[in-house]
Amino acid sequence: MKANENNNNDLDEQSVLKTRMKKIKHKIAIISGKGGVGKTLTAVNLAISFALQGHKNRVGLLDADLHGPCVPKMLGMDEQKLRVGPVGAFPAVGPLGLKVVSMVFVLEGPEVPVVWRGPIKMRAIQQFLTDIVWGELDFLFIDLPPGTGDEPLSVMKLLPELDGVVIVTIPSEVSQNVVEKAITFSKQLNVPIIGIVENMSGFICPTCSNETQIFKTGGGQRVAEKHSVPFLGRIPIDPRICEASDRGHPFILENPDSPAANAFAQIVDKIKKYIQNKEKP
């Protein structure tokens, strides 16, 4: 009896998940093998770029990094909470009508850790997709934690219709081995790879304008070529990125003419072309 009830609940949940997700035209996950490569920065600025370019109020951003959620801080939304209604919880609303869901909106304080093992994490991500009233969206971006463990596996399993993944890396060779794992992981799970972004690619000194390759350069492109995966672009190091992120302002909105914003614009173009090609009959 108990088992049957559970099965029925599972079926109900699956159909709710399907109904909710059908209203979202495109879903793109941002992954990386290694942490601290600018995955969240990429996710936030991609979401804002798409909202800016004709999709205002129609872009969602799921912060699926349960242990280290940073999306709300970068969008100046860390004081917000999820509003709960009879049909589910509603995402918090950020700049340009961006709909955002994050553990930050659920936890009691920023210093509270999420001390969860794998199975509970799978459950949490399922709830973020099933119990949240995302509404009609053109795009949902999913910011996943680094690595190839429970959270990415859960998202790929729950969303077989995923348009693809954007893989973020930094140019150092130490990172290259790890980004190759992310490529193999996506291929094994049959998830299309939209392309690779190389972040923190060179630093131009604001005083003397000389460039230093703090983490080298070109590593992302080399890995892309080696594995026949598209290369989306190279984002340079800019201290204003950290500064804007810390103040909760999306970098590309504050510095639209910077080299880093131009790099983001080119990446967005390539993702748009990928989606258009996919939609062609």
Binding site for a second copy (CB under 8 A): 33-37, 40, 66-68, 70, 73-74, 78, 110-119, 121-122, 145-150, 153, 170, 172-174, 177-178, 180-185, 188-189, 203, 205-208, 210, 212-216, 237, 239, 242-243, 245-246
First to last CA, the chain: 47
Min dist. Cβ of residue 177 to a second copy (A): 4
Min dist. Cβ of residue 242 to a second copy (A): 5
- 261 vs 167: CA distance, rounded Å: 18
For residue 89, what is the enclosing H or E element?
strand 88-90
Min dist. Cβ of residue 65 to a second copy (A): 8
- 5 vs 266: CA distance, rounded Å: 50
Give the residue with the Cβ less far from a second copy, 183 or 232. Answer: 183
Min dist. Cβ of residue 111 to a second copy (A): 4
Amino acid at 256: P
- Token duo for residue 26: 């495109």
Amino acid at 87: V
Cβ-proximal residues to 208 (8 Å cutoff; 6+ apart), any chain: none
Min dist. Cβ of residue 73 to a second copy (A): 5
How do strand 24-31 and strand 83-85 relate by DSSP bridges?
unpaired
Residue 150's nearest CA partner among 123, 129, 131 is 123
Give the residue with the Cβ less far from a second copy, 199 or 271. Answer: 199
Give the residue with the Cβ less far from a second copy, 86 or 109. Answer: 109
- Residue 142 falls in which region: left (phi positive, over 0), alpha (psi -120 to 50) or beta: beta
Greatest CA separation found in the chain? 74
Give the residue with the Cβ less far from a second copy, 28 or 179. Answer: 179
- Report residue 201 CA to chain centroid gap: 20
Min dist. Cβ of residue 22 to a second copy (A): 27
Min dist. Cβ of residue 219 to a second copy (A): 9
Amino acid at 156: M
- 241 vs 265: CA distance, rounded Å: 15
Give the residue with the Cβ less far from a second copy, 78 or 131. Answer: 78
Give the residue with the Cβ less far from a second copy, 98 or 103. Answer: 103
Give the residue with the Cβ less far from a second copy, 23 or 67. Answer: 67
